[in-house]
Structure 1
Amino acid sequence: MSLQTAPDPLMLQEARQAPQVIERQQRQNAEAVQHLAAALRERRPPYAVTVARGSSDHACTVLKYALETQLSLPVASLGPSVHTLYGTKLDLRGALLIAVSQSGASPDVVENVKMARAGGAMTVALVNVESSELAHEAEFVLPLCCGEEKAVAATKSYLASLTAFLPVIAELHPDQSLKNTLSRLPEALTQTLNLEAEASDLAERYRFADNLLVLARGLHFGVAQEAALKLKETCGIHAEAYSAAEFSHGPKRLLAEGLPLLGFSSADAAQSATLEAYASLVASGADLRTIGPSAGSDLSTPQTGHALTDPVASALAFYLFAGHLALHKGLNPDAPPLLSKVTKTR
């Protein structure tokens, strides 16, 4: 009589779909990308705002750095409750509003899109459920193209949220390097999946951690925010994300309590400053391990060819890390206590 092994958690199964999701997204969204890029050339917004919750909001942090560094477009995060709870109709005339949601079902995000569009903003929804109310209310829609996401902990929808707007930026930027890199991104993500055993080995170091501080800078900071959320959701670890630049302004005190660190490294303009900060922390006795494309990272991810796409591979490698950390802790990452797949807020 043979013993059957339990199937891998849905979280890991869905994370492994990332290369196919991104390839499908690029192929199916090609026409929508052209329409949106043309509208942005014609109606150049003076600034942009994002509206989202949870993992989607962390994707917006990455998108903020992308729009600001590549298009010189200032980006702010909208507080959804300013409109839905406090009743304020913000003056967003001429602005670009980007709403991000896997389900497209959260009333506060939908209501802000309706308010912004009625007030003269250009509204764009990055959404997985194309029949959702959010997709209906936005002027432009960039589908995430994930297919159904069953795991409570979002993985492929977060990764797809990171990439959905990048082809638009590539169309608006005079340099063709991003466009060329995007075509090779699914291959780079496939290479990242080959790191799963290494991710599991690194996760083993943290199996007894109850608290964890996650550090990053620049384009990777939104990945650090997402990592802290996922560690809470899937592993029951009290994790918090900090900018490596801000960490020494007070939070560094926590190192005296023996809290371990997980840092995201980069191979872009933030690399030198980030590595300098990490070296200083290690010299102070910090227990720090790193994930990312920077040379010497403990979990070294592929350099994808562009600063905007490197965080996608880093996030995917982290999901492998987090899924296996949950398993090392004897937890099921698909069944986090008290949580459900869709959270509707007002």
Structure 2
Amino acid sequence: MTEPLMLTEAREAPQVTARQAGHPALAAAARAIRAFAPTFVVTLARGSSDHAATTLKYALETQLRLPVMSAAPSVSGVYGADLNLKGALVLAISQSGGSPDLVGALSRARAAGALTCALVNVEDSPLAQAAELVVPLCAGEERAVAATKSYLAALVMGARLVQAWQPSPALARALDALPGTLEATLRAEPRARELATQLAQAEPQRLLVLGRGLHAGVADEVALKFQETAGLAALPFSTAEFAHGPARLADPQTPAVFFQARDATAPFTADTLRTLGGYGTPVTLIGAATPERAADLPTPASGHPLTDPAASALAAQLLIAHLAVQRGENPDAPPRLSKVTRTH
């Protein structure tokens, strides 16, 4: 088959993140949020956008010390139970902005006293129209069903929102350098293709995907991509939760894709990696090296824990796209899936 759009669009990540820099909507949203002074944050998203929201949760809680919860749209939309959201900032994240459940939940949150902000790729979408504040993701048109550049755009725009809200010189430098960091990540594509070949030859029946903290949402997203594009039963876990039962699934026939960060989680995830080695689990290590082993798919250090996940996610997208092709799948048009999913 011809080269998939999934790969072409993933390779646009450096340009997407460069377009985001200095967008006036971001500064305007940050000013409004600071004036509102929320006491807590609620994220509202599904699928890949929800996985970006998971990373944003860790970013907001570690940098701004604000508690963050993930909304269940069915609470208001299906059960008709409106929450007391006075004092809350509700951050809705979506590529299309067209799912009725998100639009309805955001509208009801606004009526309940929350400040509402949409991080959305389609600027005139129903979700954008329902929000008080709109921050464009700047990903441009995405044609492949599997979200690549739009997910990365949401991941990075979350970090940009944190920076605009509470400026940090270190994070500012990392965001300025991020397009170059992602360009460097793309240069590892031949290695990603090689690892995809090895994984395809193993013909696994299932796959574990492990990460922690700021990389927990990345693990969720990568597992979803394995599921929808390569047809693999990929199971994501936080390494902290892995020992509480899922470790039973680890064996020599079940490969694992493992994210090793350069942040405070590093010594703890390195312990989990050693444990997996004791189980005989074949591991593809993405990110940083550990004291015991080099990374199989190394990523460049971005200069800040909040921007490192973007490089990890992009490297994994390259691996997954090549694996899907080698398994005879079309990652651009997975069976039973469509680009815009509308739930109620």
Question: TM (normalized to structure 2)?
Answer: 0.96
Shift of 1:18: 0.5
The equivalent residue for 2:71 is 78
Q: CA deviation at 1:39?
A: 1.9
1:3 maps to which residue?
Answer: none
| Cα offsets for 1:280-299 (capped at 9, x unmatched) | 21023221121113452110
Q: Residue 297 of structure 1 is aligned with which of 295, 299, 312?
A: 295
Shift of 1:252: 1.0
Amino acid at match of 1:145: C
2:211, 2:239 within 8 Å by CA — same for their partners in 1? yes
**In the aligned structure 1, how far is the partner of 2:161 from the partner of 2:240?**
30
**Contact in 2 for aligned 1:266/1:292 (Cα 8 Å):** yes
Runs of 4+ in 1 over 6 A off after TM superposition: none
Mapped contact 1:271–1:294 kept (Cα < 8 A): no
Distance 1:62 1:124 in 2: 17
> Which residue of 2 is the match for residue 35 of structure 1?
28
Q: Secondary structure at the match of 1:245?
A: helix
1:160 to 153, 158, 176: 153
- C-alpha displacement of 1:256: 4.1
Q: Cα deviations across residues 2-51 of structure 1 (Å, max 9, x unaligned)?
A: xxxx5310000000000001101124x2x222222222222211110111
Q: What pairs up with 1:99-248 in 2 under 5 angstroms? A: 99-173=92-166, 175-207=168-200, 208-248=203-243
Per-residue CA deviations over 1:63-118 (Å, capped at 9, x if unaligned) read: 00000011001111000001111011111011010001100000000011101111
Structure 1 runs not aligned, ≥5 long:
1-5
**Mapped contact 2:287–2:299 kept (Cα < 8 A):** yes
Partner of 2:280: 285
Task: Please tell me whether the aligned partners of residues 210 and 236 of structure 1 are also in contact (alpha carbons under 8 angstroms).
Answer: no
Structure 2 unaligned spans of 5+? none
Q: How far apart, in 2, do the equivalents of 1:223 and 1:238 lie? A: 17
Q: Distance in 2 between matches of 1:294 and 1:48?
A: 34
Asked if the contact 1:211/1:259 (under 8 Å) is kept, the reply is: yes
Amino acid at match of 1:100: I
Residues in 2 aligned to 1:165 and 1:221: alpha-carbon distance in whole angstroms: 15
Q: Secondary structure at the match of 1:92?
A: coil
Match of 2:87 in 1: 94
Deviations 1:117-141 (A, max 9, x none): 1111111101000010111110111
Distance 1:271 1:51 in 2: 29
Q: What secondary structure, in the 3-state scheme, does the structure 2 residue paired with 1:289 have?
A: strand
CA contact (8 A) 2:251 2:279 kept: no
Aligned to 1:47: 40
| Range moving further from structure 2, 98-107 or 200-209 | 200-209
- 1:293 and 1:314 in contact (8 A); partners too: no
CA shift, 1:264, in A, is: 0.7
Please give the secondary structure, in 2, of the residue aligned with 1:227: helix
Q: How far off is 1:174 after superposition?
A: 5.1
The one-letter code sitting in structure 2 at the alignment partner of 1:17 is E
The offset of 1:162, in angstroms, is: 0.4
C-alpha distance in structure 1 between counterparts of 2:49 and 2:161, whole Å: 18
CA distance in 2, matches of 1:176, 1:35: 20
Q: Does the aligned pair in 2 maintain the 1:51–1:99 contact within 8 Å?
A: yes
Q: How many residues align?
A: 339
- Answer whether contact 1:63 1:162 (CA < 8 A) is retained: yes
In 2, Cα distance between equivalents of 1:171 and 1:145: 17
Alignment-derived partner of residue 260 in structure 2: 265
**How far apart, in 1, do the equivalents of 2:158 and 2:196 lie?**
31
